[in-house]
Structure 1
Amino acid sequence: MRSLILASHIFGEGCEPTYTKLKQNNGSMKLSEKKETESKEGSGNQLCHSISSGAINNIHRIQDLQLAEIEMSQIYDVKKVLAEGCYARVLLANHKNTESNVVLKAIYAELTPIKDFYREYHYSYHLSPHPNILDSYNVSFKCDNCFVFAQEYAPYGDLAGHVKLGGLSESVCKLIGNQLSGALDFMHSKELVHRDLKLENILIFAPDFSKIKLCDFGATRKEGTLVSKLRCNWLPFLPPEIYEIIKNERYLCKTSSDSWQLGIILFVCLTGCPPWQMADSIQDPNYAAFWRYQKRRTTKIPVPFKKFSPRALRMFRKIFEHKPDKRAPVTEVLKYMKDPWIECKLQTSSSCSQIVSTSTLVQERKDSIKLYLRQQDGSRNSQENNKNKLNKLVNSYGLETSVDQKAISKRVWEWVLSCDVNAEHVEGI
């Protein structure tokens, strides 16, 4: 059962609002508790609202709310800006009366129609009973030309702040995949598509990643709805069917796009970088290589995927299926939780081997070429006999043998050596 902040804690003692308390029961949401309020005098009552049971019974019925405008500084001490995006700011605030921390998501009213705010707040609130979806509270208002609603605070930030070069451990990535796939499967069971999965929208509630929560439902839509491409999406996260959409073109949103973005998140967590820059088989060589491998046009494993085990490769091939109708659902990753994902080999790959400086490589190459030339000069006598035998054989066929191949070979090596010296000089400059 999730915790619930009362609006009276947020707005003060002058308001005791109606609130609803939701819980998850066998994968479905239902109204478990409802508390009626006593009418009190004061302007604080205008700030209170409740969400009707009809809207809860039908998650796709968005209810319009009466948003009162308040002065935020009179009620909250804003500590800092946690995040800022194209359409909103996320603030960490302290309620003055209760001295409790709460997160306020302030959505710019100039860039966001009021109906879009209603939709985001509605989905955020009614999806929050799931243990891996961020809690949103029954508090919303308007302030400083922003639509604002309250959410719980994630003490360890978002996933983007934890993934470094080289990625996270396999066990941590499996924890993330297990929880994230559960949250998305819950959404998909309600015929909802998140559409904006990325590291910044996954919040951490435990230092060992045993508790993460999905957030930001501003782009969430019912499956099958006509939508436009999001303007602030990171290209590597876009599935091919959405990447190919031109500006202002509309398309039907499907849960398969969430599957693709889940796969990208898992890959980034495992490696520290995306597998490609764009899902375009013409412009991106990494994606072109994976596409050929997926279509079994080659048996060569693409370089970004070489560290993975055969079972992990099978998982990625299914979740990165080019055709959305054949793409595996988000629950596909659960089938591979008991399998190793990282291939352990005795010999290290070039990406994991010790990095040698360019000057050292040039010096080693010069030494090897000089050694080769000395060996060639020292074996001149023995080669001369072999050369005479070869000349006799070639002359017997009437071929010209006046060209000294040894001299040409030596000049070629000396030219290669001079090129290395010039390259070292340019590098020093």
Structure 2
Amino acid sequence: MEAPPEAAAAEEEEEEEDEDDDEESVARAQERLLRALMERTGRELPRRELERDWFILGELGSGSYGRVVLAEPRHGGARVALKLLRKERTGRGGFLREFCTQRCLRGALGCLRALPPPFETGTEFGFAQELAPAGDLCGLLTPGVGLPEPQVKRCAAQVAAALGYLHGHALVHRDLKLDNVLAFDRECHLVKLGDFGLTRVLGYQVCPASSPAPYAAPELWHLRGAGARLRLEPALDTWAFGVLLFALLTGAFPWASPAASDPAFRRFRAWHGRTCAGEARLAPPSAWRGLGEAARGLLRGLLHPEPGRRCPPGEVLR
């Protein structure tokens, strides 16, 4: 005998509550682990003179955060990428959290490895990372063209696996973009997700986006007011993953920001709403017409305007 609809609904609601409780438990455990690692690492943080310990061979990147340089240990060993964060922009706690988060992810093949020990100089915090010789995905793709489909498929599968590992450990990356996916060869047989400076546990309260960003999810972009906050969920990464895949396939972003004032986003919303509602077929926006039906279907799932209805990143494996 089937259960009455009311009982079935109640049972389903209880299962959802149990899942939420499990996620919260994992998030709390992950935060406790990170804080314990941060405390221990902070006590043991050595002081270094950069040029005394490393041959600095060139700069790989820089920004307001600091710089990443190509370096070789003076005592011998493989070349690495040294990430150096300026103390005037990054506090000790933020630095320790980034390093310890990356160390917690060392079991994930798709996440860039941080190499101990971290250190500090008079003006910078630093740690070594494994070197990705081919640079980031932004430098590999051809503007207006993208990457060949086999390369995109390899990138998609590996980044999806990295996100799956993060989300399975109650962590949300928060800064997924072309610049933060590093390639170990130009054919993308091995790519890894890097830059965990903004990574936080599930449930962390996120502030509004500060400037237009194509990767920002609508629910984050539409936050307004100094006190506005959003509960951190994996769906933010899922949206950014969809934007990243679109850029890899086309060599361009689908929009400048997910705002009603952005014409490209308005056209996408209209098309997405019609296709999801099963109404009469509507031609996709011009920027989407070069994509195959399977790619468009996947991206519609990743880029669903409602966070709870986005498909998980692992859907790319289908």
Please state which band the TM-score falls in when normalised by the shorter chain: 0.7 to 0.9
Q: Residue 63 of structure 1 is aligned with which of 29, 38, 59?
A: 38
Provide the C-alpha distance between the structure 2 equivalents of 1:136 and 1:182, rounded to a whole number of angstroms.
Answer: 18
Instruction: Pick one of 119, 138, 162 that aligns with 2:97.
Output: 119
> Which residue identity does 1:83 align to in structure 2?
G
State the AA in 2 paired with 1:76. W
- The SS at the match of 1:259 is helix
Q: List aligned pairs for 1:201-212, cutoff 5 A.
A: 201-212=180-191
Q: Deviations over 1:288-317 (max 9, x none)?
A: 111111111761211111112222221111
Displacement of 1:183 in angstroms is 0.3
Q: Cα RMSD between the aligned structures?
A: 2.1
Is 2:29 aligned against 1:75?
no
Aligned to 1:289: 267
Q: Aligned to 2:290, what secondary structure does the other structure show? A: coil
Aligned twin of 1:258? 237
Shift of 1:234: 6.1
SS at match of 1:63: helix
User: SS of the counterpart of 1:318?
Assistant: helix
Could you list the per-position Cα deviations for residues 26-45 of structure 1 after superposition, in whole angstroms to 9, with x for gaps in the alignment?
xxxxxxxxxxxxxxxxxxxx
Q: Residue 218 in 1 paired to residue 197 in 2?
A: yes
Aligned counterpart, 1:130: 108
Q: CA offsets per residue over residues 183-217 of structure 1, 9 Å max, x none?
A: 00000000000000111101111221110011000
State the match for 2:179 in structure 1: 200
Residue deviations 1:346-371, cap 9 Å, x none?
xxxxxxxxxxxxxxxxxxxxxxxxxx
Please state if 1:317 is matched with 2:300. yes
> Match of 2:163, as an amino acid?
L
Aligned equivalents of 2:291 and 2:132: distance in 1? 32
Supply the distance in 2 between the matched residues of 1:294 and 1:241 (Cα, whole angstroms). Answer: 16
Q: 1:234 to 1:134 in 2, by over 3 A?
A: farther
Identity %: 31
TM-score (ref. length: structure 1): 0.62
Pick the aligned partner of 2:122 from 138, 144, 151: 144
Cα 1:274–1:56 change in 2 (3 A) is: closer
Aligned to 1:101: 79
Q: How far does residue 247 in structure 1 lie from its aligned partner after superposition? A: 5.9
Q: For residues 61 and 255 of structure 1, what CA distance do their matches in structure 2 show?
A: 24
Contact 1:55/1:61 (<8 A) preserved = no
CA distance in 1, matches of 2:261, 2:36: 42
Instruction: Report the equivalent of 1:308.
Output: 291
Give yes or no for contact 2:209–2:223 (8 Å, CA) kept in 1.
no
1:47 aligned residue: none
1:46-66 CA-to-partner distances (Å, cap 9, x unmatched) read xxxxxxxx9999456442222
Residue identity matched to 2:213: L
Is residue 2:310 matched to residue 1:331? no
Specify the structure having the higher radius of gyration (Cα). 1
- 1:241 deviation in Å? 0.8
In structure 2, runs of 5+ residues without a counterpart are: 1-28
Distance in 2 between residues matched to 1:104 and 1:230, nearest whole Å? 28
Q: Contact between 1:156 and 1:207, CA under 8 Å: does it hold in 2?
A: yes
**Which protein, 1 or 2, shows the higher relative CO under an 8 Å CA cutoff with sep ≥ 6?**
2
Q: Structure 1, unaligned stretches of length 5 or more?
A: 1-53, 336-429
Which stretch has the larger CA shift, 159-168 or 245-254? 245-254
Count residues in correspondence: 280
Task: For 1:63, give the aligned amino acid.
Answer: M
d(CA) in 1 for partners of 2:250 and 2:212?
17
Is the aligned partner of 1:158 residue 2:141? Answer: no
Whether the aligned pair in 2 keeps the contact of 1:293 and 1:301 (CA below 8 Å) is yes
The 4+ residue runs of structure 1 with deviation greater than 6 A are 54-57
- Cα distance change of structure 1 residues 176 and 322 upon mapping to structure 2, 3 Å threshold: same
TM-superposition CA deviations, 1:402-427 (whole Å, max 9, x none): xxxxxxxxxxxxxxxxxxxxxxxxxx
One of 155, 171, 175 as aligned partner of 2:154 = 175
Q: Deviations over 1:235-267 (max 9, x none)?
A: 111111111123643221110010011111110
* Aligned residues of 1:60 and 1:222 also touching (Cα < 8 A): no
Deviation for aligned residue 1:141: 0.9
Match of 1:189 among 162, 165, 168: 168
TM norm structure 2: 0.83
SS of match in other structure, 1:107: strand
